[in-house]
């Protein structure tokens, strides 16, 4: 089996980006990753694209934006794990010797798809009936904010982390501005990652 290395990375800033399409955001990240790696785009043999609610062939559409056409593209959608799954598939392809150079990317534009929390698909009977949406995404109806369900979820996660012997607890991401994730910023001793390889106290 081949050794696998990540040669370059690229990303766009977290934000709503109302005037930029998901294809444009993905293209910017691809260009940055290629520049960071110093690899000629023509050496890329395959691509693996993770996305959420972006329709068919999103990977092909992103790569067409940067002139990378004609290579095999695998598109995966797996909710919040879509990008991680794409990276895993890329890793396995190189590890197995199927390809030498591949590209993994993730793209979404959920702020243009939903006004608030993610709305479950009407065919997903479990989430429509409220059986799993909260457990998977730790989200709750904003009308129930006074009950402190988000904070309760975090406390149960901290309890589990403590019992499991974990040194740190990651409560997920939040925004600099006001959002429905603000309850995550109320815990003392919390730090935030500034995406420049530094953790800063909140």
Q: Which residues lie closer than 8 Å to 31 by C-beta, 6 or more apart?
A: 10, 66
Q: How far apart are CA 145 and CA 136, in angstroms?
A: 18
Q: Which residues contact 112 (CB under 8 A, 6 or more apart)?
A: 18
- How far apart CA 16 and CA 39 sit, in angstroms, is 30
Q: Which residues pair with 102 in a beta bridge?
A: 46
| C-beta neighbour count of 34 within 10 angstroms | 20
Residue 75: φ, ψ to 5°: -105, 135
Question: Distance between CA 139 and CA 180 in Å, rounded?
Answer: 9
Question: Angle, nearest 10°, between helix axes 22-37 and 58-65?
Answer: 60
| Residue located via tokens 């050794």 | 3
CA atoms within 13 A on the CB side of 94: 20
Which residues are tagged catalytic? 80
């Amino acid at each position: 089996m081949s050794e696998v290395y990540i040669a370059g990375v690229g990303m766009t800033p977290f934000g709503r980006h109302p005037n930029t399409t998901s294809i444009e955001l993905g293209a910017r990240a691809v260009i940055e990753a290629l520049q960071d790696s110093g690899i000629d785009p023509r050496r890329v043999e395959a691509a693996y694209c993770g996305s959420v609610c972006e329709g068919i062939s999103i990977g092909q559409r992103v790569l067409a934006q940067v002139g990378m056409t004609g290579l095999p593209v695998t598109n995966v959608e797996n909710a919040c794990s879509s990008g991680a799954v794409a990276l895993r598939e890329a890793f396995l392809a190189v590890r197995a010797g199927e390809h030498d150079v591949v590209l993994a990317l993730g793209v979404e534009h959920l702020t243009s798809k939903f006004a608030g929390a993610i709305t479950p698909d009407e065919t997903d009977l479990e989430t429509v009936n409220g059986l799993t949406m909260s457990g998977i995404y730790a989200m709750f109806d904003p009308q129930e904010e006074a009950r402190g369900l988000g904070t309760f979820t975090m406390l149960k996660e901290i309890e589990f982390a403590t019992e499991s012997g974990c040194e740190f607890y990651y409560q997920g991401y939040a925004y600099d501005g006001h959002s429905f994730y603000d309850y995550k910023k109320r815990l003392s001793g919390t730090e935030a990652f500034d995406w420049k390889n530094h953790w800063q106290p909140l």
